[in-house]
Amino acid sequence: MSELSVWISAFHFLRPAWLLVLPMVLLIWWWLRVSSEKKRSSLPGAVAPHLARALSVGEQHTRRWPRFRPVDGLAALLALLALATAGPTWTRLPDPLMARTAPLVVVMQVNPSMDEKDVPPSRLERARQKVYDLLERRDDAPTALVAYAGSAHRVVPLTTDENLLRPYVEGLQSEVMPVDGNNAAAALKLAEEILQKQETPGGILFLTDGLDTGDIAAFNQRDRDNGLGFLVLLPGNADIPGVPQVRDARVTRVTPDSDDVDNLVRYFDSSFQQALAKDNNRQWDDRGWWLAWPAALLMLLWFRRGWVLPAQPGLRQQAVTHTGKALVLILGVLGFANSLSAPDALAQSPTSSVASNPAPPESAFLSRLFTPDQLGQWLMVRKEYARAANAFSEPYRRGYAQYQAGHYEDAANTLATLDSPEAIFTRAMAQVKSGQYQDAIAGFEQVLQMDADFPGAGKNLQLAREIFTYMQKSRGDEEEKDEQTQSDEESYDKQQQKQVEAPDKPSSQTEVNPEQWMSTLDTSTSEFMKQRFALEAAGGEKQGQAREQAPQQQAPQRGDTP
């Protein structure tokens, strides 16, 4: 699905009742505009028509486009404000405790066919270069590496360390694979198993020169929540075997520049945003404030001399009378729309509580332009979390800003008065960071009681329990070690008193230089992967043979008693 189609499918208004104001604004604008035209068309009889047109302000010439008049600016301003208040949105707010980019599994085909040089310098070498370009655009997002030929192997699990992936990408050669072939279905299964452990959908990118026909069915039956892309390492005039038959996948041929990588990055980001739009646990991002800028530009026109509503006495009196009635009607509609939108707005906010003591504004100038929460959000975008924490008046946002700034104890104290699942979860994360594992475990358990499917609560609860158990065990081991050390020192002192000095025996071993010892170590990732892949392939064959023999040995015979 393209970015435009994703945007269209996700676009909606958070407070659609405010759109009822638009017909009222258009009706008032049309009435004022028509009334103004009628007044201008009735020229005074004592003045020549050409002089009256020359002396009239804002007169419309028949050979020109209609002029933009103050009533037009007022209508456009009210329409923009109504649209902004309605809350247009098409994306959800990212989870602050999760990655903002989809996890990606890079799957490289590593067999003798990838050593062909029709794509210079070779297909495999070009694939390495494309992986490096991709890593530079990932911005430390979780990325895993899988290699396959006749068998599939996980090279590196999901990691945000780009430097960890590079040596393994460099070490992938056709000689390291234990089984020759093109088993892309096994690589797809392994990549899906890696992404199953993630709380957000991800993407799978194959760097290949084609698929076998027997693997196409597995690709068409895959999990569609994860995006699938193919970077085909073939010349432009060569046919792509198997890949075009895979449904709902992005297929891109390798290019000399970075257009192929940029295309795939946009595709995976679009798939990630589409998946996030379906996650009801995340709030929608209100983009209505974008319309405040053009509205502010329209308001500047009212500082222009002569930019006023119609000045004729009769028309002005009618305009004031009808405009007053219209404003009363608009205010009534706005009040009704506000009453309808209040539950939605409350549901969109992380918590309905407001801090009793707002934080002092960080900047006197910016505080005059923005509300405390708007100023805090502006600072959050600039990643000035400490200043944002001082600016926010809403306790959840302030606590989250303190968490991002690394003030974990302050964040836990700020969020202690809130009872929403999001606030309790963030407080528990802050308690984990500050070493309060017991309180964090209680917080995660409380979140799961309120929402059993809350993202990240179960996983972090298990992790906090493991850390707490490890810390308890470490403390016990340290106490035993101290006691053992004390008893050993006493025994050693007694032994020293009884020991008789004896001459040292010459050592028969030759001392090894540390540099010589380091030079004997094999630092090649290729050799390491070759040995590991061979062990994994041998282990897979034994497991397959055991599965084939198990039904024959364990199948119950008819007439046997349990």
> How high is the pLDDT of residue 371?
80
> How high is the pLDDT of residue 38?
59
Q: Which domains does the chain have, with CATH numbers?
A: 3-41+68-91+289-347 (no CATH), 104-277 (3.40.50.410), 364-464 (1.25.40.10)
pLDDT digits (tens, 9 = 90+) for 355-409: 333 444 445 556 666 788 888 888 888 888 888 888 888 899 999 999 998 899 8
Residue 556 in this model has a pLDDT that exceeds 70: no
Closest CA to 318 of 307, 326, 329, 330: 326
> How high is the pLDDT of residue 356?
38
Residue 232 in this model has a pLDDT that exceeds 90: yes
Extended beta strands in 126-247, E state: 143-148, 152-159, 203-208, 227-232
DSSP helix/strand/coil, 85: helix
Residue 57 in this model has a pLDDT that exceeds 90: no
> How high is the pLDDT of residue 557?
40
> How high is the pLDDT of residue 490?
58
pLDDT digits (tens, 9 = 90+) for 514-536: 444 444 444 578 888 888 888 88
Q: Which residue has the higher pLDDT, 171 or 484?
A: 171
> How high is the pLDDT of residue 364?
58
Position 505 confidence tier, pLDDT thresholds 50, 70, 90: very low
- What are the φ/ψ torsions at residue 107 (nearest 5 degrees)? -115, 115
Residue 242 contacts residue 213 (beta carbons within 8 Å) = yes
Query: pTM surpassing 0.75?
Result: no
- What are the φ/ψ torsions at residue 153 (nearest 5 degrees)? -140, 140
Q: How do strand 88-89 and strand 12-13 relate by DSSP bridges? A: antiparallel
On average, the pLDDT of the chain sits at 76
Rounded CA-CA distance 104/160 in Å is 11
Residue 123 in this model has a pLDDT that exceeds 50: yes
> How high is the pLDDT of residue 382?
82
- Amino acid occupying residue 417: T
pLDDT digits (tens, 9 = 90+) for 280-337: 666 788 888 899 889 989 888 888 877 776 655 555 555 556 556 666 666 665 555 5
> How high is the pLDDT of residue 500?
42
Q: Which residue has the higher pLDDT, 502 or 98?
A: 98
Radius of gyration of the chain, Cα coordinates, nearest whole angstrom: 35
- Proportion of the chain above pLDDT 90, given as a percent: 24
Report CA-CA distances (Å) from 115 to 119, 173, 174, 252.
9, 9, 8, 20
Under DSSP, the state recorded for 45 is T
**Length of the chain in terms of residues written:** 562
Query: Which of the residue ranges 39-43, 156-160, 466-470 would you say has the lowest mean pLDDT?
Result: 39-43
Closest CA to 145 of 463, 533, 550: 533
pLDDT digits (tens, 9 = 90+) for 21-43: 888 888 888 887 776 665 555 55
Under DSSP, the state recorded for 286 is -
